[in-house]
Amino acid sequence: MTEDSGLMSIDFLVGFTIFMITFIWVATLIPGLFIGLQSHTIDYDAVAYRTGVILVEDPGATSPFVTDGSPWEFQNVVTGKDNVARFGLAISKETPRILDENKVNRFFCSTAFSYPEDYQKRVIFGDIPYRFNISLKAVGEDIPRSVGDVVPDNYQYGYIRRDVKIKGSSNTTIGNTTITKYGYKNTENVTLNEFRIVINSSHLLKGNVGEIDNPNGDAAYRINPKWDQIIINITDLESTRPSWCQTPPALPAASDTNLTSIKFYQNRWDPLSFRWTPDPWNPTTEILTYEDGNLTPMIPPVDIRDNLTLVFKPGFFSSTDKDGAIFINLTFGMVLNPSCPMPQFGLGRPFLNNTKSGPFNYNYHPANVTQPALTDAVMEVAIW
């Protein structure tokens, strides 16, 4: 009987094939229908890793309302905390894992930012109210800096550890060796001596860094006068005085020498005369002046015996022109008094003075300036 044949028609095979393909396709979609019903788990290690990357590989950011170019760590958090859009401790994106000392100090400042709200939206991100602990311990520090809660002992948390370096600030000591080498002693009969220091912003920001010939990089070793702290120590002042005026160590400081004033000038390009012209510049913040190791800041005029320290805090030169040079003029008064009589034959009263020999250059020469150093440190991020 022909109707009892075991052969299947072509129509049946085509239909069955289409059915199987459709069945397989629908089966692959079924798990997605139940995604909203699945239990929600958090990969805390991934969150900790992301936070660590943001902190050590990103310089941070300010809001679009900040138009003066100042970085986040110099924003006034009292009146404009919203100007800080994102925390980041790296000097620049080109220097991952090399942290800026100013950013580190500001990030761990409990009086500037509040835990957890300020940190939650500027470094952790997301809608989940994570708890966390971020710590940084540098070589030579006994106690690490930290922000956040105590890491739990019996609760799951994510963890990441990053080896980093912290860039420090530069400083210089102008002592007897430098004074003699560059001829910074005055031999004229004057009652006022001027000592000038130049900080060439254009060279420091764009010129070569020591032996490294790359004006576009090297942020890890570059001195940035606009945002870095600068310390100038002037020592051995007593030795610049003539022998008949030097005060024995056991006696009080000589009363005829003082730092009379500190004035600032900035070189600006004059398009009319086609030359750089010095213009007076008045800083908006107070300079910290210390005399002979006294830890209390003093305002000139200051009596000087042997040592003088000038501390320019980070941001002191923030309003200066990055394409010019900054001149610091120190005026030392020499008041005539019987304790230091004038010598005969017009030999004068030698003291610190470089009006004829040229200003001291605060630059990348290691003999003049102690360059920024990189300190090893470890950052740990725990999130739960």
DSSP 12-40: HHHHHHHHHHHHHHHHHHGGGGGGGGSPP
Does any domain span residue 193? yes
Adjacent-strand bridge partners of 196: 329
- CA nearest to 207, candidates 366, 323, 87, 51: 323
Beta strands 145-148 and 360-361, pairing class: unpaired
Residue 350 tokens read as 């030698």
Specify the number of domains making up the chain. 2
Q: Which of 153, 304, 312, 346 is nearest to 228 (CA)?
A: 312
The answer to whether residue 185 sits within a structural domain is yes
How far apart are the C-alpha atoms of 301 and 309, rounded to whole Å? Answer: 14
* 191 pLDDT tier (thresholds 50, 70, 90): confident
369 contacts: CB under 8 Å, gap ≥ 6:
170, 171, 172, 223, 362, 363
Between 254 and 175, name the one with better pLDDT: 175
Do 85 and 108 lie in a common domain?
A: yes
One domain for residues 157 and 229: no
Lowest mean pLDDT among 28-32, 60-64, 264-268: 28-32
For residue 138, give its domain range.
Answer: 44-167
1 in a structural domain: no
Whether residues 185 and 274 fall in one domain: yes
Could you tell me the two tokens for 346? Answer: 């017009």
Average of per-residue pLDDT values in the chain: 82
- Please give the C-alpha separations between residue 165 and each of 16, 29, 84, 218, 229, in angstroms, as whole numbers: 67, 50, 23, 14, 18
Please list the alpha-helical segments (H only) found in the chain.
Answer: 10-29, 44-57, 77-80, 101-107, 117-119, 176-181, 201-206, 237-240
Are 262 and 287 in the same domain? yes
* pLDDT score, position 11: 73
Asked if residue 17 is part of any domain, the answer here is no
Task: With cut-offs at 50, 70 and 90, classify the pLDDT of residue 335.
Answer: low
Residue 383 covered by a domain: no
> What pLDDT does 345 receive?
40
202 and 349: one domain? yes
Tokens representing 96?
């991952």
What's the predicted TM-score (pTM) here? 0.79
Residue 8 is assigned to a structural domain of this protein: no
Q: State whether residue 49 is helix, strand or coil.
A: helix
Q: What is the pLDDT of residues 68-85, one digit of tens each?
A: 889 999 998 877 788 999
148 and 201 inside one domain:
no
251 shares a domain with 239:
yes
